[in-house]
Structure 1
């Protein structure tokens, strides 16, 4: 896989208790033409951190680090569910792996220049990793309904589909960013085999202004 394009695929924590998770893991583990890096969501592990915070009273910074440990727990579960996946904690571990990896973020995420609050989720951490790895594509697998074609990232953030910090990080990303529905695995697999791009491409308003100078975006 030396020289293969890197795709960062964030599997939303909302998939944890549904039938879509294992087929996604199997399909991603089987990919060989691209270097796939799975970023686990927080799932029930991050939810536990959020639920306990008002009771115990720990601050935003502690909650942020605990939620990242929740992502790591979810990642360990994914590795156990699909034995063909490989763990990776560092950028070198990802690029040197012979197959699809699951990012265990506790160590490397300490370098991420992101806010430490609940606005930052695994969406933004996946974007940070995609930037760090100079990935070709960032794919966010979501349970929420998605608009067809293209969508303004800020509008999706306002709707709660992606986290509100992600659009700002997209401004420095070279990777194309797409959201794919959890039930759209057949379309995603078809794309891996040479078919059309799956899911909804995310763009920022400035992209429209650059593409059609002098026109209104309303």
Structure 2
């Protein structure tokens, strides 16, 4: 990989919403070959949470498969995207000027620094991936608009998962947060000029 990508995590709350199509269209238009998308698990992950008889390891694995199903939903909406199931596949697609929707399940499962815990959801998995890819920046697209509170407050309130704030202090990737209806601001963020509706996570 001869350049540093950006990683964009599209929250699972967008699944089934017209705003998801807006984001997919904007990313394809403005960041093809540069962005790596990580999908949230949405209702598929919620279904895993409802299974009380799962071990932590089983729930961890099934939650990642939920993200893979969300990736398939995104591709059904916009077939220009390709699913990438490994770090190697992500690199190949970026090199081919494609935009991967990344769910590298095996790479996550065999990473010694990712525990089998609901503290790690698609937020922290996306941040881990951004760090592993030496990404320029990470953007979390959430169901709510950003505010000025520090990231540890957002971890406590559930805006980001419980592991995210600590992980952010241990990586060099800059994290940002966008509300759901701000796809039109993506070009400015890509140019390093985020507007007030895209906030840095500190």
Q: Same fold (TM over 0.5)?
A: yes
Hey, what's the Cα distance between the residues in 1 that align with 2:32 and 2:84?
Answer: 19
Q: Which residue is equivalent to 1:211?
A: none
Query: Is residue 10–residue 40 contact of structure 2 (8 Å, CA) maintained in 1?
Result: yes
Residues 54-133 of structure 1 correspond to what in structure 2 (within 5 A)?
54=52, 57-97=53-93, 98-112=97-111, 113-133=113-133
RMSD: 1.7
1:197 lines up with 2:194 in the alignment: yes
SS of residue paired to 2:88? helix
Alignment of 1:1-218 (within 5 A): 3-32=2-31, 35-51=34-50, 53-54=51-52, 57-97=53-93, 98-112=97-111, 113-147=113-147, 150-192=148-190, 194=191, 196-198=193-195, 199-203=198-202
Q: Look up the SS of the partner of 1:20 in the other structure.
A: helix
Return closer, same or farther for 1:12/1:33 CA change in 2, 3 Å cut-off: closer
- Work out whether residues 151 and 200 of structure 1, in 8 Å CA contact, stay in contact via their aligned partners in 2: no
Structure 2, unpaired ranges of 5+:
none
Judge conservation of contact 2:7–2:37 (CA < 8 Å) in 1.
yes
Matched residue of 1:87: which SS?
Answer: strand
What is the rounded CA distance, in whole Å, between the counterparts of 2:26 and 2:110 in structure 1? 30
Structure 1: 5+ residue stretches without partners: 204-218
> Bigger radius of gyration, 1 or 2?
1
CA displacement at 1:92 relative to structure 2: 2.2
Whole-angstrom distance in 2 between the partners of 1:31 and 1:141: 16
Measured after TM superposition, the shift of residue 14 of structure 1 is 0.4
Q: Given the superposition, is the C-alpha separation of residues 151 and 111 from structure 1 closer, same or farther in structure 2, using an over 3 Å criterion?
A: farther
The two structures have a TM-score, normalised by structure 1, of: 0.83
TM-score where L is the length of structure 2: 0.90
Residues 12 and 92 of structure 1: is their aligned pair in 2 closer, same or farther, counting only changes over 3 Å? same
Tell me if structure 1 keeps the 8 A contact 2:19–2:181.
yes
Change (3 A) 1:130 1:174: same
